[in-house]
Amino acid sequence: MPADPHAPPGEASAGAAGHALLPPPLSLYVHLPWCVRKCPYCDFNSHEFKGGTPPFDAYVDALLADLDQDLPLVWGRTVHSVFFGGGTPSLFPAAAIARLLEGASSRLRFAPDAEITLETNPGTTEHGRFQDYRQAGVNRLSFGIQSFDDGCLTRLGRIHDSRQAVDAITLAREAGFENFNLDLMYALPGQTLAMAEADVTRAIALAPTHISHYQLTLEPNTVYAARPPEGIPDDDLAWDMQERCQDLLAGAGYAQYEVSAYARAGRQCAHNLNYWRFGDYLGIGAGAHGKLTLGSEQTLLRRWKHKHPVAWLAAAGTPAAIGGDDRVAPERRPFEYMLNVLRLIEGFTPAAFEARTGLPYAAIAPRIDTAVRAGWLQVEGARIVPTALGRRFTNDVVSLFLDD
């Protein structure tokens, strides 16, 4: 089998060595749970903070205690990326972000070129704060724009308008940020094909290095699920929006590398790539999830923390903060691997599958053959990649790998 192209130096593929599990690249995910206002479509672990100011300092103390508790799981490993997600991480002052990064880097070895991303809402940022985030160590921003149409933004419950979005991006660039993502959604209530095209055109004009472009879905336990808004485009129109916007992005030099992610050359999101390549990530904070390869036990561990910030804060650093631990049985690993890697345009290699799951490629070969015959996957040299049809029906392809 070919060597795993995604293994960092010193962590070569284990496929030819009895399919042992070796630790893949490691990322750190930090969940900052508060927001100004909960959007009606949002199913993330985010909470409106009502009354006063969120306890920023206490939360950072708790994050470091949470990290201390999980450190034995990752001793000696290098962190290749950090991602602050939420909620609205840009609610946190730069001093809090700096203290967390200083504390984390004193406990874990950070790669010299580690990508450190902060999600930001255009309605919660200003010039001085961007400069301070850079000084704190943040080197990549992800703007939750969603749309440049003020009517769409109002219907989505966003707290910013299109002018504030453009102003925030301009200020970030002036503060020295060159690497940033714009999040856009399509198939929005009341949106036409021309409106979806206009959103992408405006995003391209702002010259981000990365654009995430994904369809609005009505997730369970959201306001939109309980009371669906009027005017949501039907499936045919949503497909037209996706295809037309993909063409616009490709024409502007943004290569699609994942189902909903497009980037300039060399500017793919390293953190999310590690997720999709079935790498490891340590999750700290209220509701954070992690996935870790435990070489000594030859097992994959999924760990998650209690979701509610108040309960998590009270227990942080103790076993009571852990919502659960789940050791992923070998028969479940093919499904979990494919659930991630088949989102990637690049697909995967048999050696990568073996290294990440500890299983022989023969365990999935018959199902791969089924997907190839269906026109969902194709073999390109040493790689197995999803076809255009397979990317459209990703759920069907992944379901082939469910444990019988």
Domain of 356, CATH number, reads 1.10.10.10
pLDDT of residue 126: 67
Please indicate, yes or no, if residue 389 is contained in any of the structural domains: yes
Looking at the fold, whether 350 and 204 belong to one and the same domain comes out as no
In a domain, 279, yes or no: no
Domain assignment of residue 309, yes or no: no
The CA distance from 299 to 371, in Å, is 28
In a domain, 292, yes or no: no
118 and 53 together in one domain: yes
| Cβ atoms of residues 27 and 282 within 8 Å | yes
One domain for residues 101 and 191: yes
Q: Which of 274, 290, 316 is the last residue of a domain?
A: 274
Residues 126 and 234 in one domain: yes
Could you tell me if 225 and 367 lie in one domain? no
For the chain, what is the domain count?
2
- For residue 91, the Cα-to-chain-centroid distance in whole angstroms is 19
Residue 4 lies in a domain: no
Residue 277: closest CA among 33, 24, 65: 24
Co-location of 337 and 244 in the same domain: no
Per the listing, tokens 């979990």 go with 336
Going 118 to 300 to 378 to 367, the CA torsion angle's sign is: negative
Domain shared by 251 and 378, yes or no: no
Q: Same domain, yes or no, for 122 and 191?
A: yes
Shared domain for 334 and 246, answered yes or no, is no
Check whether residue 215 and residue 340 sit in a common domain.
Answer: no
Instruction: Provide the pLDDT for residue 50.
Output: 80
Structure tokens at 371: 């997907």
pLDDT of residue 8: 32
> Is the pTM of the predicted complex or chain greater than 0.95?
no
Residue 304 lies in a domain: no
Q: Kindly report the CATH number assigned to the domain that includes residue 250.
A: 3.20.20.70
Question: What pLDDT tens digit does each residue of the chain (404 aa) get?
Answer: 233 323 333 333 333 334 788 889 999 999 999 998 888 888 888 888 887 789 999 999 999 999 999 999 999 999 999 999 999 999 999 999 999 999 999 999 999 999 999 999 998 776 678 999 999 999 999 999 999 999 999 999 999 999 999 999 999 999 999 999 999 999 999 999 999 999 999 999 999 999 999 999 999 989 988 899 999 999 999 999 999 999 999 999 999 999 999 999 999 999 999 999 999 999 999 999 999 999 888 999 999 999 999 999 999 999 999 999 999 999 999 999 999 999 999 999 999 999 999 999 999 999 999 999 999 999 999 999 999 999 989 999 999 999 86
Domain membership of residue 13 (yes or no) is no
Q: Tokens representing 337?
A: 């691997």
Same domain, yes or no: 56 and 180: yes
57 plus 168 within the same structural domain: yes
Domain span at residue 263 reads 26-274
Does residue 106 sit within a domain? yes
DSSP 370-392: HHHHTTSEEEETTEEEE-HHHHH
- Residues ≥6 apart with Cβ < 8 Å to 132: 93, 94, 95, 98
